[in-house]
Structure formats: structure tokens, C-alpha cells
Amino acid sequence: MTDAPTDDQTVLPLKADSDVVRVRQLVRDVATAVRLSLVDQTKLVTAASELARNTLVYGGGGEARVRRLTQGTSVGVEVVFSDDGPGIADTDLALTDGWTSGNGLGLGLSGTRRLVDDFHLDTAPGAGTTVTIAKWRR
């Protein structure tokens, strides 16, 4: 996935509520451009919305990078969320349905993993959090 030939990527900051909306719109545009099905677009945008909010709320802000993926004849969309926040100590716990350290529904990470094809969580206490997701055209 990471060594796939890449097209240009777009970086959006995640500093405020309105940035989450902007990320959703950009992801929708790219997903439409690579012709994901409507359901797949919706799944990817919803996942992006969840992760963007996490970056903002728990990571204290960061950025989202959106790019088109090409691998052989397959095309897809990748979104990377990164922050320099506190990181996650227990990733298994964080990925459990319903677990939240705040007052969310605890479905952001676990649900997102179900919505996308590729999901990668890279985090350590004090080292920030990076979540990479991708969805491929069927």
C-alpha cells in the first residue's frame, strides 16, 4: 500500500470543527473522482469524519493527507490522519466497540476499521497518533 505509485496528495490542517467538514468534502471529491460506488464513498467519508474528529479532539489537532492510490489496475483513495498528541497506550482497548475515554460512543476507531479496506494505527504514548485508511474500487 505505502509503496504504491502515488498521485498528488492534498494536505488539510485539522485545527477546528470546520476543518472536519472540509476533510469530508475533499475525501468525497477524490472518492467520486476514482469512481468508488456510492456506498463505498459514504463509508470512506464517514470513516474520515470519525478519524478527523479524533485527531482534533484527542490528538489536539493535526492534519489529514488525502491521495489517490494506483496499484496495477486497481485504484483507491488513501487518507492519513496524524497528530502529535498524547498517543494511545492500549490500542486493543481503543479499538474495542463502545470504549471511549471521553464521552463519545466509542465507535470511531472500531467502526472505521469495518468501513474501510485497509486500516493501520500507528501510535505510542507521547509519540502522537497516525491512522492510515484506504478504500479500493471494486
Partner 1 sequence: MERIPILRIGEMLLVSIQVDLQDHTALMLQDDLSNRIVETGAKGVLIDISALEIVDSFIGRMISTTAAVSRVLDAETVVVGMQPAVAITLVELGLTLSGVRTALDVDRGLRMLRDSVEFPVVERGVTPDDGRAD
Ligand X SMILES: Nc1ncnc2c1ncn2[C@@H]1O[C@H](COP(=O)(O)OP(=O)(O)O)[C@@H](O)[C@H]1O
Query: Roughly what angle, to the nearest 10 degrees, separates helices 38-57 and 17-33?
Result: 150
Cell of 26: 475533499
108 touches Mg ion (CB under 5 A): yes
- Fill in the per-residue mask, 8 to 47: x = in contact with partner 1 (CB under 8 A), - = not in contact: ---------xx-xx--xx--x---------xx-xxx-xx-
Cell of 83: 497528530
Q: CB within 8 A of 116, min separation 6: which ones?
A: 43, 44, 47, 133, 134, 135
The closest of 5, 55, 52, 8 to 30, measured between CA atoms, is 8
Q: Applying CB under 6 A, which part among 6-14, 36-44, 49-57, 72-80 lies near ligand X? A: 49-57
Q: Applying CB under 6 A, which part among 23-31, 37-45, 63-71, 104-112 lies near ligand X? A: 104-112
In the complex with partner 1, which residue's Cβ is closer, 10 or 49?
A: 49
The residue type of 119 is F
Name which of partner 1, Mg ion, ligand X, none residue 94 binds, using a CB cut-off of 5 to 8 Å depending on partner kind: ligand X
110 touches ligand X (CB under 6 A): yes
121 touches partner 1 (CB under 8 A): no
Q: What is the dihedral of CA 103, 97, 90, 101, to 10 degrees?
A: 10
112 touches Mg ion (CB under 5 A): no
- Residue ranges binding ligand X (CB under 6 A): 50, 54-55, 58-59, 83, 85-86, 88, 94, 99-102, 104-110, 129
